[in-house]
Amino acid sequence: MSGVPASYATYAAGRTDPRFTDWLCERAEPEWTFAVEHPFTHDLAAGTLSEHAFADYLVQDYAFIDALVGTFGFAVGQAPDMAAKRPLVKFLDTLTDEENDYFERSFDALDVPASRWNDPELTAPTAAFIDLLGRASREGGYEETLAVLVPAEWIYEQWATTAAEQHGTGDASDPPSVGANLPFYFAEWIELHAVPSFVDFVNWLREQLDNHGPNLSDRRQARIDRLFQRTVELEGAFFETAYQSTTEGDGDG
């Protein structure tokens, strides 16, 4: 965060159309770039990622998604009006339907027994991430909840759209052709986070925080900054922990 003001007001002064989320993102460097450009995502898109590592990752991510659904539920209750609640409810439906179906099909294809993904042994980053989601939504307001949801979804949109552009048609707006030679559990994971509907939702989430964040007190802005940065750190740690399992062999994935 070298050179990025700790105060949003200072950051915004003299800038044309400053965005609160841009300030948060810049404050989160270099952890932001570490997460978005992690070798785990590069290898996934290239099809060179160990299936053992990906199975480990999906087990942890499924536990995370379970907690994420609850956090989005909090966001629905905290949202200021029906116009803000509606996109959140729609995304909850995606998580509990389309994305859940993806997980179940992938676990089956990767021979991950139900006992493993129904009752996983959480890694340290997963446990910390689940704790952070709960504390942000229960102990804060709408903006604090957004402070963890925005980077969690934005990081995925960033790496997945990059993967779609580099390994697909060159156009992230048309991701179904991504990874034509990849197993479905790699290709669809990219597609789920690069399709226009997801990109639009992430942009909407950012706009919500952009609209509300600048009006908060300095104290709450500082808390939003800490929550955002911690989320980015944990996203990087989440990828790193999964990637480390590539050295442990492919025997039990």
Q: Give the pLDDT confidence of 47-101 residue by residue, as tens digits.
A: 999 999 999 999 999 999 999 999 999 999 999 999 999 999 999 999 999 999 9
For residue 52, being part of any structural domain is answered with yes
Flag whether pLDDT at 175 surpasses 50. Answer: no
Phi-psi region of 179 (alpha: psi -120 to 50; beta: other; left: phi over 0): left
The pLDDT of 136-143, averaged and rounded, is 92
Dihedral sign of CA atoms 89, 90, 93, 95 in order: negative
Q: How far apart are CA 216 and CA 72, in angstroms?
A: 21
- Number of neighbouring beta carbons within 10 Å of residue 48: 11
Q: What pLDDT sits at residue 245?
A: 75
For residue 11, being part of any structural domain is answered with no
Q: What pLDDT sits at residue 247?
A: 58
For residue 229, being part of any structural domain is answered with yes
Domains held by the chain: number = 1
For residue 4, being part of any structural domain is answered with no
| Band of residue 3 on the pLDDT scale cut at 50, 70, 90 | confident
| Band of residue 180 on the pLDDT scale cut at 50, 70, 90 | low
For residue 8, being part of any structural domain is answered with no
Specify the higher pLDDT residue, 185 or 2. 185
Q: Which structural domain range is residue 193 located in?
A: 20-248
8-12, 17-21, 215-219, 241-245 — which is least confidently predicted? 241-245
For residue 3, being part of any structural domain is answered with no
DSSP assignments along 83-138, one per residue: HHHHHHHHHHHHIIIIIHHHHHHHHHHTT--HHHHHS----HHHHHHHHHHHHHHH
For residue 13, being part of any structural domain is answered with no
Q: What is the CATH number of the domain that holds 56?
A: 1.20.910.10
| Band of residue 253 on the pLDDT scale cut at 50, 70, 90 | very low
For residue 10, being part of any structural domain is answered with no
